[in-house]
Amino acid sequence: MIRSNPEELIRKSIAKFVDNELIPSAQEIDEKGEFPMEMFQKIGKMGVFGIRYPKNKGGAGGNTTLYCIICEELARGLMSVAAITAMQCLMGTNFLFHFGTKEMHEKYFLPAMRGEKISCFCLTEPEAGSDLGNVSTLAKKTDKGFVVNGMKTWVTNGPVADFYTVLCQTDPAKKLRGLNFFFFPKDTPGLSASKAFDLLGTRTTQISELAFNEVHIPHEYMLGQEGQGLNNLLSILSEIRTMTAALAIGLQRAALDDSIRYAHERAQFGRTISKYQLIQAKIANMAVNLEASKLLTYKATRMIDNKEECLKEASIAKYFATESACKAGDEVTRIFGAYGYSMEYSAQRYYRDNRFLLYGGGTHEILQPNIARWVGL
């Protein structure tokens, strides 16, 4: 009896959806610049959002490798839809799944798995990005729970989310050891989101600020044991970085496919530009970077699935794959020539969307010194 390969099945299924549903709509969705609710709900009905979670808890019983395959394929279609999916599968729901109450699971987690509620994850502040020790959104403990004041920024899904997972400081004197995650329903009094930022790329990704003004929440809305916020974040950091690398792979694939297709179609001086060595060199370099990105990324996902420590490998994958995506986004516009400057072609979108990959999961200015230290400097 021949057993089906789950990775192959997932890839074929998502690739078919991308080819038939997402790519034909990608330009319209991007130009509209609104949260793609219809597409989001379609993905939810496919069971994608629960891919990382066990079946007996409302998930699909998959693993990090399958999660990253999904992210890669969706990014091949449209980066912003892939980013929203990545948020829903991991950062936006992970701590709610592990630490939320039964009531919170039934009211928020399970509907999120079905695509009926939108999740959100809030780390960054105006004065605290990579420096989490400088987080100043304060959750002050009281007899009835916590009172929260502060602000978050660059909040993906901020204006449209139904619930938020928020990193707060409970004791400024403890710095990193005082960090904790908290759960906030969107209708919590004192909680408000700004209008969505006007973005260069990933135009449908709704990103905003989130303000907390004397927000009262009960004790059970703390997600995890007190003082364990940083450790809980580190527990999924390798997944966040490999996911970002997978998004980069998807963009590289799209840019390479379009470059090859255009090179075969565009004729100059009596022959297609695919015959010119300079074009061949650009496409060859894109192909090599893509293959290396795949090897680095899926090496890291398999280590995660085997419960091996792989923060170094995940960081290297994220760094290399996203830098390669930026190069691919540049080269595709060069291969297209003046048409790469036209909004009519998707080349310009790859060029804009690749910048999104540089910041999440650790900037490259943070990753480079960390990688250098890991290899012995």
CATH of the domain at 55: 1.10.540.10
Are both 179 and 205 inside the same structural domain? Answer: yes
Say if CB 92 and CB 47 are below 8 A apart. Answer: no
C-alpha distances (whole Å) from 288 to each of 71, 170, 184, 358, 361 are 21, 47, 44, 20, 24
Q: For residue 170, what is the domain's CATH number?
A: 2.40.110.10
Position 51 in a domain? yes
Choosing from 206, 229, 252, the residue where a domain stops is 229
Residue 361: predicted pLDDT: 86
Choosing from 174, 201, 229, the residue where a domain stops is 229
Position 127 in a domain? yes
Residue in the block written with tokens 């010194």: 369
Residue 2: predicted pLDDT: 47
Are both 195 and 247 inside the same structural domain? Answer: no
Are both 166 and 84 inside the same structural domain? Answer: no
Q: For residue 308, what is the domain's CATH number?
A: 1.20.140.10
**Mean pLDDT score of the chain:** 95
Beta pairing, strands 267-268 & 222-223: unpaired
Total number of domains constituting the chain: 3
Are both 157 and 105 inside the same structural domain? Answer: no
Are both 216 and 234 inside the same structural domain? Answer: no
Beta pairing, strands 179-185 & 222-223: antiparallel
Choosing from 229, 258, 286, the residue where a domain stops is 229
Residue 1: predicted pLDDT: 42
Say if CB 327 and CB 218 are below 8 A apart. Answer: no
Residue in the block written with tokens 């999740």: 119
Are both 302 and 256 inside the same structural domain? Answer: yes
Task: Tally Cβ neighbours within 10 Å of residue 269.
Answer: 7
Residue 127: predicted pLDDT: 85
Say if CB 242 and CB 318 are below 8 A apart. Answer: yes
pLDDT < 70 regions, the chain: 1-4
Residue 4: predicted pLDDT: 63
85: left (phi over 0), alpha (psi -120 to 50) or beta: alpha
Position 141 in a domain? yes
Position 1 in a domain? no
Are both 221 and 275 inside the same structural domain? Answer: no
Position 143 in a domain? yes
Position 321 in a domain? yes
Residue 3: predicted pLDDT: 57
Say if CB 75 and CB 349 are below 8 A apart. Answer: no
Are both 75 and 130 inside the same structural domain? Answer: no
Position 154 in a domain? yes
Are both 352 and 252 inside the same structural domain? Answer: yes
Are both 234 and 368 inside the same structural domain? Answer: yes
Are both 32 and 103 inside the same structural domain? Answer: yes
Residue in the block written with tokens 């978050």: 152
Position 217 in a domain? yes
Range of the domain at 31: 6-113
Are both 134 and 74 inside the same structural domain? Answer: no
Measured CA to CA, the distance from residue 184 to residue 127 in angstroms comes to 22
